[in-house]
Amino acid sequence: MPEAFISLGSNLSSTSEGIDKDPQVQINDALKKIANITDINLLKISSFYQTSAVGPGEQPDYINAAIKIETRLTAYALLDTLQYIEHQQGRVRNERWGARTLDLDILIYDKLIENTARLTLPHPRAHERGFVLAPLADLNAELIIGEYGNVGDLLANCSMQGIVRLTN
């Protein structure tokens, strides 16, 4: 079965079933939903990280994590599944890099190289973002991201300013 690495991020709360769900709860809810999908085996979960927001305007800090999965889903079916979970948790796509209740990105899907309007693999900016690399290093510091090199080396050359590992 293909292996994939997915990043998870949230910096907005939402209310669901009368319960206010902060970003850490948003991530935990997404993990539960992913784990319950029959065509996905959730293999490993990184630590959670509090990270400064990257994007327009003033935004609350993010909670970020990453997971390693095996899946019978194609890359596009996995993308559709992840976007459905985002929608369930109140994700609205108004502004690029804007604040969000949930962001689920496929970082790597097996060794697939893809560059279409819907999906670019490996993720085009994963290699330069500490908030992506730190959780990935928890999963596999030797993981190769496309032509850029392994996660551990990329992280060593990336700013960790504003990134704090949480105890989850």
Catalytic residue among 29, 103, 129, 138: 103
Phi/psi of residue 102, nearest 5 degrees: -160, 135
Catalytic residue among 22, 39, 105, 153: 105
The radius of gyration of the chain from alpha carbons, rounded to an integer in Å, stands at 15
Q: Is 72 a catalytic residue?
A: no
Q: How far apart are CA 78 and CA 55, in angstroms?
A: 25
Residue position matching structure tokens 């194609």? 74
Q: Is 105 a catalytic residue?
A: yes
**H or E stretch covering 6:** strand 3-10
Q: What is the DSSP string of 14-27?
A: EEETTEEE-HHHHH
State the Cα angle at 65 between 122 and 147, rounded to 5°: 20
Report helix angle 75-88 to 23-35, nearest 10: 140
Q: Is 22 a catalytic residue?
A: no
Catalytic residue among 100, 125, 138, 165: 100
Catalytic residue among 29, 91, 129, 138: 91
Tokens of residue 144, six digits: 């190769």
Q: How far apart are CA 25 and CA 14, in angstroms?
A: 10
Please list the active-site residues: 91, 100, 103, 105
